[in-house]
Amino acid sequence: MKTILSLAIVVLLFGTAQTTRSQFILKADKETITINAGETATFKISFTILNGFDASIFLGVTQGNLQMLSGGGTLSTSIVNIPYDDITLTVTTTAFYTRSGLYEFSIYGSNSSLSSSVRCSVNVVGTRSNWRLMPEIEMTEGVPSFITQDPVGNYWYQYYNGLGLQKTSKDTPIDRWQNGTVSEYGDLLIPPLFDTKNNKLWLSGRRNLVSYNLDNKLQTVHTYKNYPFYEVNSLVIDNNTTTVWAGRNGGLFHLISGIWTHMDSTNSALTTHHVLGVGQSGSTIWVGTTDGLVKFDGTNWTRYTPQNSGMPTTGAKVLAVEENGDVWVGLSNDKDVSPLGEYYEFMSGLAKFDGTTWTVFNSKNSPLHKDNIVNGVVIDKKGNKWIATATHRAYSHNGPLGGAGILKYDNKEWTAYTKENSPLPDNMINWIGLDNDDNVWFHQYKEGYYDGPKNFWGVFNESGLPPNLLPPTSVEEFGVSSDGISITPNPSTTSFTVSGIDNMSIVKLLNSMGAVVSNTTSTKSTKQDINVSDLASGVYFVQVRSATGILTKPIIVSH
């Protein structure tokens, strides 16, 4: 979509003695300048004067949509006199918030008897389309606890609001994801597990474990010795044999042919210690516990400990397993850690184990923070490891905890995406996940309060995000009805009132790039006042979230 940007050059005449019609012509040294996001385009503007014109030319810039290129445009001078030397026009961009595309604008001058114009454009080919950061918010309920995608592309996610698991089409823009409808699937502890062979959905709730048949909508609540499973922290399924493994505080359980079996010292290498995480590669199952790492190859059980394998610590939480069978674990010396909690005090880094050798990564040989907290690892189709480096808790008993941002490890080199070199507001990243296209999803939410950025979430792809994950550039791109929203006054100079929708929970104001410039949490009222006195003149979009969805309508700010 092309965007027209306007620069106004106002021309006044002083005491000229000419009696014939005078004329000037503006020219630019280039029609189009191609730059990366974060760079500056500079145009040379020349003046060709006809018929002895000898007036002064006053220059001014009308911002308007020029702000879409982040710093707008700046002229080298505000007044041009004889001999009308060339001036420069610079157009600046921001590295992470300028969308790729062709931006056209015109430079023009006009008078009752004089006029001239020249058209130019800036072609941005940079990184704006790599990141989508959702707005920072005060409450955790506006942050998804997880985001995953099923084999056919539907997104499944859950906000921290107790309303449960939500489902949406892969083509639904993030801005239209629901956050106000009670789910039929309930509130989950971990992402759902998809049994593609039997078209089932496995759901781990706080009080039970349920398999949901997507064909006939029938649910099965799973029990062991007449007691329901609760707080299952990890699930894996072998789609070839339909074997399900469930890890929880009470150990590891195995479902085959409709029968659950508790794996303990009588039938496996497991002890009575907590199961912290379960992973699978082929027929190999890895089980992380507070007393070693356990491997099951389909026939034999092996438990690895510091005493028999050189394991660095006693505790290991399975975070990811590669196709070749290598397992990535979070290391901890805390034997009493809850399987649903985190190693927020006793973590000692990240390790890869290939069945023989332990390779340990910590703050001494990687970009990990000195706290060595690793809260998640996911592996993309190229074999890159993506790592979340913080805990949900803001403090340990020893003081504030830190983070190192989003880390990438390609098996040779590390890349750290932090608040210093990316759009991330903070380096504490609590959760990380991948969808079918290797888009990297992440969030920060905090239990408790401390000075620092608010909660946030977003998505990132080094190769660029698909359109449905990018911010809208106009109200039409939202694809939702604005029926019922009343905005008065419109245009607005200092403030406006949004009304006409029952139970408004959040009212956002977005600029023409889709970036949030105001975010107001309502007490589910029927109207909300928004202050725009500090905003530049231009077109904005009011986005209202209610129990029925998200509605959007344009607003003009004019000072």
Where is average pLDDT lowest: 14-23, 157-166, 276-285?
14-23
Confidence bin at 272 (pLDDT 50/70/90): confident
pLDDT of residue 304: 95
Annotation: CATH topology of 190-339: Methylamine Dehydrogenase; Chain H (2.130.10)
pLDDT confidence band for 328 (50 / 70 / 90): very high
User: With bands split at pLDDT 50, 70 and 90, how would you rate the model's confidence at 522?
Assistant: low
Tell whether the model's pLDDT for residue 40 goes beyond 80: yes
Q: pTM for the complete prediction?
A: 0.69
Domain locations in the chain as residue ranges:
3-126, 190-339, 475-557
User: What is the average pLDDT across 151-156?
Assistant: 94
Convert the pLDDT of each residue in 333-388 to its tens digit. Answer: 765 554 444 545 567 889 999 999 999 999 999 999 988 889 899 999 999 999 99
pLDDT band for position 18 (50/70/90)?
very low
The residue that leads in pLDDT, 109 or 535, is: 535
Report the sign of the C-alpha dihedral through residues 421, 424, 430, 433, in that order.
negative
Alpha-carbon distance values, 187 to 70, 216, 218, 340, 384 (Å): 41, 21, 18, 15, 31
Mean pLDDT along residues 244-262: 89
Give percent of the chain with pLDDT exceeding 70: 75
What is the structure's pLDDT at 360? Answer: 95
User: 61 pLDDT exceeds 80?
Assistant: no
DSSP-assigned letters across all residues of 365-421: TSS--TT----EEEE-TTS-EEEE---SBSEETTEE-----EEEE-SS-EEEE-TTT
The per-residue pLDDT of the chain, averaged, comes to: 79
Residue 19 binned pLDDT confidence (cut-offs 50, 70, 90): very low
C-alpha 416/C-alpha 369 separation (Å) is 11
Amino acid 345: pLDDT? 56
How do residues 405-429 score in pLDDT, each as one tens digit? 999 999 999 999 998 888 888 899 9
Higher pLDDT, 134 or 211: 211
Mean pLDDT across 492-518: 76
pLDDT at 505: 67
Superfamily of domain 3-126: Immunoglobulins (2.60.40.10)
Q: What is the CATH topology of the domain spanning 475-557?
A: Immunoglobulin-like (2.60.40)
Element (H, E) at 279: strand 275-281
How high is the pLDDT of residue 58? 63
pLDDT for residue 69 is more than 70: no
> Measured between alpha carbons, how far is residue 268 from residues 262, 299, 334, 355, 396 in Å?
10, 10, 23, 18, 35
Q: Which of 194-203, 235-244, 466-475 has the highest mean pLDDT?
A: 194-203
The predicted structure's pLDDT at residue 478: 43
**Could you tell me the CA-to-CA distances from 326 to 104, 281, 285 in Å, in that order?**
52, 8, 11
Evaluate if residue 291 carries a pLDDT over 80: yes
Spatial CB neighbours of 237, under 8 Å, sequence gap ≥ 6: 193, 195, 202, 243, 244, 245
Same CATH fold assignment for domains 3-126 and 475-557: yes
Cα 42 to Cα 90, 101, 119, 151, 528, distances in angstroms: 4, 17, 14, 48, 43
